[in-house]
Amino acid sequence: MRIEPLKLSGTFKVILNPRKDERGYFMRTFDKAVFEAQGLGNDWVQENQSYSVRHVVRGLHFQRPPQSEAKLVRVLAGMIVDVFVDLRRSSPTYGKWDSIELSSENQTAAYIPRGFAHGFCTPDSEALIAYKVDSPYTPSLEGGLLWNDPDLGIDWPVEDPLTSPKDGQWPKFRDFVSPFA
């Protein structure tokens, strides 16, 4: 397992290392010591699973403090483009976004720290996603940004995606007051 920084401060690509033979493979998907060596000492409290059909966009979601959450996202089947937006007001990349392709084939995960909005899309196939969070879900602290906000300019690789009504009603970034220092 290798952990490499991504473009936005605090985000990381986690490259898993499957050990393959004629039977299939085995791989470690989380190692507390490896994460702590990178300064990522999260106490994961929940693991969630999400299934999406082709051409879906989910997001951009976050939880407000004090229940803000870091996430460790990986794909069990299929492929997604995972997107995250920096909402930390003091960050030099505040309001910027980045993305990473996660798939069952590339055996890669994404670490997204607290203070980011998160979403993903399934451009070419259905996908099964698993993600750990370090804070329990609290509905009253749920927040989001409009997934297709032109000011953010996220390059979603899908046209006319299937989204939830809720995801179409989040505020635009310019109307958003960040609760993250």
- Asked, for residue 107, whether it belongs to a domain, the answer is yes
- Asked, for residue 181, whether it belongs to a domain, the answer is no
* Residues catalogued as catalytic: 61, 131
- Asked, for residue 55, whether it belongs to a domain, the answer is yes
List the domain range (segments joined by +) for residue 45.
Answer: 2-175
Domain CATH code at residue 21: 2.60.120.10
Domain count for the chain:
1
Helix, strand or coil for residue 80? strand
- What are 28-85's pLDDT values in tens digits? 999 999 999 999 988 999 999 999 999 999 999 999 999 999 999 999 999 999 999 9
Q: What is the CA radius of gyration of the chain?
A: 16
CB atoms within 10 A of CB 143: 17
Q: Residue 9 above 90 pLDDT?
A: yes
- Asked, for residue 124, whether it belongs to a domain, the answer is yes
* Dihedral angle computed from the Cα positions of residues 123, 97, 146 and 116, in that order, rounded to the nearest 10 degrees: 110
- Asked, for residue 73, whether it belongs to a domain, the answer is yes
CA distance 122 to 127: 7
* Dihedral angle computed from the Cα positions of residues 60, 61, 66 and 67, in that order, rounded to the nearest 10 degrees: -150
- Asked, for residue 155, whether it belongs to a domain, the answer is yes
- What are 152-175's pLDDT values in tens digits? 999 999 999 999 999 999 999 999
- Asked, for residue 37, whether it belongs to a domain, the answer is yes
Mean pLDDT over all residues of the chain? 97
- Asked, for residue 180, whether it belongs to a domain, the answer is no
Amino acid in the structure at residue 115: G
**What's the pTM value of the predicted model, to 2 decimals?**
0.95
